[in-house]
Amino acid sequence: MSTVTEPMNRTADPVLSVRDLRVWYGTERGPVRAVDGVSFDVRPGETLGLVGESGCGKSTLGRGVLGLTPAAAAVDGDVRLNSKGGAGRNLTELSDREIQQLRGPELGLIFQEPMTRLNPLMRISQHFEEALHTHHKGLPKKEVKARALEALRGMGIPESRYENYPHEFSGGMRQRIMIALALVLRPAFIVADEPTTALDVLVEAQIIRILADLRKNFDTSLVLITHNLGIVAEACDRVAVMYAGHIVEQGDARTVFADPQHPYTKELLRSTISLSTTGLHFIPGSPPDLVQPPEGCRFHPRCPVAMVGCATVEPPEVTLPSGVRSTCWQQAVEVDPSLADELGTGGREPLAAVKEISVADEA
């Protein structure tokens, strides 16, 4: 994948700058390329929505940034954290101890299933004491409690519940406690990994509102991983669409939703369900095997507008006039017709037509 052709309009320097991040899992069949060369930026107070099908590498991407991948995973690339504590260091090159010290005060993670994320033997107060004492040694007890209660109050958890155990709370309350537990350390950057998937819709709306308020109150940058496109439209400034370990399209959330460019984004948006939906749309085929991903564009076997060249040559990422970046030959040749040479002769013929001919020949 080629690098960014043109810098985006930037209002502030990004808090987190990811370039060519790769996270591969070792398995018996060979490496699984869960995240395979991903680049994006997150600016202060910005919310980036990360969407895509299950298994496209969204969660792995979030964990890769925080250095929380399992021992069998290899992480490579450049992840610059430009917050005060991050000091522009490349997170993938830090020692276990160094990244551990950044997790909490600089990098936060909110999880998908809040029910099991709190230690059942520890009171809520003990969770806060542990988090605060780990990163602020010698913080007086009174101060710890004051800060913990402040964070909990912000999430609507009353002071009287401070000494309770996790099992005494509902799922929605536990997720709010988890968020308070992440926020109490005031990290510059938070990954929220499908924070509402396990919760009912009313609680979901509440949590999303809390997350959307974060940037106003704390200037916190957020990567919101979700497969719910409605949440992205509601809560995100920008959106990045992932497919098979790649980001295929990213840009301003409204622009992308109003006028999706990449065929995968178009198909994804067509697949959403609304009250006006009459027949369910789905994308034929299934996500590719990440041990042996398809050659060329990884989406070409399922792409309705694939060209012959898409099956062999990987598409470059191009920036469109709207500022949206897309990784698709359709847009690439539009933006820069000279790129068409790379597709080879006859490379722009529709792939579907060629397939039909070859089938007919055999018959």
Contacts with another protein by CB under 8 A lie at 66, 68, 96, 100-105, 108-109, 111, 113, 116-121, 130-131, 134-135, 160-161, 163-165, 167-168, 178, 181-182, 185
* Shortest spacing between CB 103 and another protein, in angstroms: 4
Cα–chain center distance at 65 = 10
Query: With respect to another protein, which residue has the nearer C-beta, 122 or 291?
Result: 122
Query: With respect to another protein, which residue has the nearer C-beta, 120 or 337?
Result: 120
* Shortest spacing between CB 116 and another protein, in angstroms: 4
Q: What angle do CA 217, 117, 67 make, to 5 degrees?
A: 75
Radius of gyration of the chain (CA): 22
Helix (H) or strand (E) holding 248: strand 246-252
Query: With respect to another protein, which residue has the nearer C-beta, 224 or 247?
Result: 224
Query: With respect to another protein, which residue has the nearer C-beta, 179 or 248?
Result: 179
Nearest Cα neighbor of 178 from 117, 104, 220, 219 is: 117
Instruction: Retrieve residue 70's tokens.
Output: 């399992």
Query: With respect to another protein, which residue has the nearer C-beta, 163 or 219?
Result: 163
How far is 15 from 290, CA to CA, in rounded Å? Answer: 30
Nearest Cα neighbor of 250 from 63, 40, 103 is: 40
* Shortest spacing between CB 10 and another protein, in angstroms: 29
How far is 290 from 35, CA to CA, in rounded Å? Answer: 9
Query: With respect to another protein, which residue has the nearer C-beta, 134 or 322?
Result: 134
* Shortest spacing between CB 117 and another protein, in angstroms: 4
* Shortest spacing between CB 277 and another protein, in angstroms: 35
Query: With respect to another protein, which residue has the nearer C-beta, 66 or 210?
Result: 66
Q: Are 114 and 197 in contact (CB under 8 A)?
A: no
* Strand ranges across the sheet with 318-319: 107-110, 189-193, 221-225, 47-51, 238-243, 246-252, 325-326, 318-319
* Shortest spacing between CB 163 and another protein, in angstroms: 6
* Shortest spacing between CB 85 and another protein, in angstroms: 11
Query: With respect to another protein, which residue has the nearer C-beta, 220 or 327?
Result: 220
Sign of CA dihedral 193, 226, 190, 262: positive
Sign of CA dihedral 300, 301, 306, 310: positive
Q: Are 313 and 270 in contact (CB under 8 A)?
A: no
* Shortest spacing between CB 120 and another protein, in angstroms: 6
How far is 236 from 223, CA to CA, in rounded Å? Answer: 9
